[in-house]
Amino acid sequence: MTALSCEVHLEDNTRILVEGTIIDENNSPISDAKISVLIKRSNYSEGENQYVIGEGYSNAEGEFSVTSLYDKDEDFAIEIHGGEDYSTYVYKTNTLEYTPLDLTFNLETVSLKKLATFNYHIERTSGEANTLRYTFKYIEGFCLEYYEGTTLNEFQSSCYQEQVVSQFLNDSNPDIEWLLSIPFGGVVEFTYAINDEPEITEFITINEDNYDFTFTY
78 located within any domain: yes
What is the extent of the structural domain holding 38? 16-111
Question: Of 201 and 12, which is predicted with more confidence?
Answer: 201
Secondary structure (3-state) at 151? strand
pLDDT of 105-151, one tens digit each? Answer: 999 999 999 999 999 999 999 999 999 999 999 999 999 999 999 99
In a domain, 157, yes or no: yes
pLDDT band at 4 (very low <50, low <70, confident <90, very high): very low
Q: What is the pLDDT of residue 40?
A: 85
- Which pLDDT value is given to residue 50? 84
44 within domain boundaries: yes
Residues 23/203/191/199 CA torsion (nearest 10 deg): -160
Which of the four pLDDT bands, split at 50, 70 and 90, describes residue 5? Answer: very low
Q: Quick check: is 80 in a domain? A: yes
Residue 138, amino acid: Y
**Residue 59 corresponds to which amino acid?**
N
Number of separate domains in the chain: 2
Q: pLDDT at position 48, please? A: 60
* Calpha distance 182→137 (Å, rounded): 11
Report the alpha-carbon distance of residue 99 to residue 16 in Å, rounded: 10
Residue 198 and residue 131 share a domain:
yes
Give the tens place of pLDDT for each residue, 151-192: 999 999 999 999 999 999 999 999 999 999 999 999 999 999
Distance from C-alpha of 22 to C-alpha of 33, rounded to nearest angstrom: 8
Q: Are 123 and 71 in contact (CB under 8 A)?
A: no
Question: Among residues 80, 111, 142, which one ends one of the domains?
Answer: 111
Q: 157-161, long-range: CB within 8 Å, 24+ apart, which pairs?
A: 158/43, 158/44, 160/87, 160/113
DSSP track, 102-133: TSEEEEEEEE--BEEEEEEEEE--S-TT--EE
pLDDT-derived band at 41, boundaries 50, 70, 90: confident
Q: Region 65-78: what's the mean pLDDT? A: 94
The CATH number assigned to the domain holding 184 equals 2.60.40
Same domain, 192 and 125: yes
- Report angle CA 103, 108, 111 to the nearest 5 degrees: 135
pLDDT at residue number 49: 75
DSSP per-residue codes, 157-203: EEES-EEEEEEEEBTTB--EEEEEEEETT-EEEEEEEETTSPPEEEE
pLDDT at 215: 98
Average pLDDT over residues 74-80: 95
Same domain, 85 and 126: no
Claim to verify: residue 22 and residue 96 sit in the same structural domain = yes
Residue 183 shares a structural domain with residue 158:
yes
- Under the banding of pLDDT at 50, 70 and 90, the label for residue 10 is low
Name the pLDDT band for 3 (thresholds 50, 70, 90).
very low
Calculate the CA 116 to chain-centre distance: 13
> Which of 111, 145, 175 is a domain's end point?
111
Check whether residue 58 and residue 125 sit in a common domain: no
Q: Are residues 167 and 199 in the same domain?
A: yes
105 shares its domain with 141: no
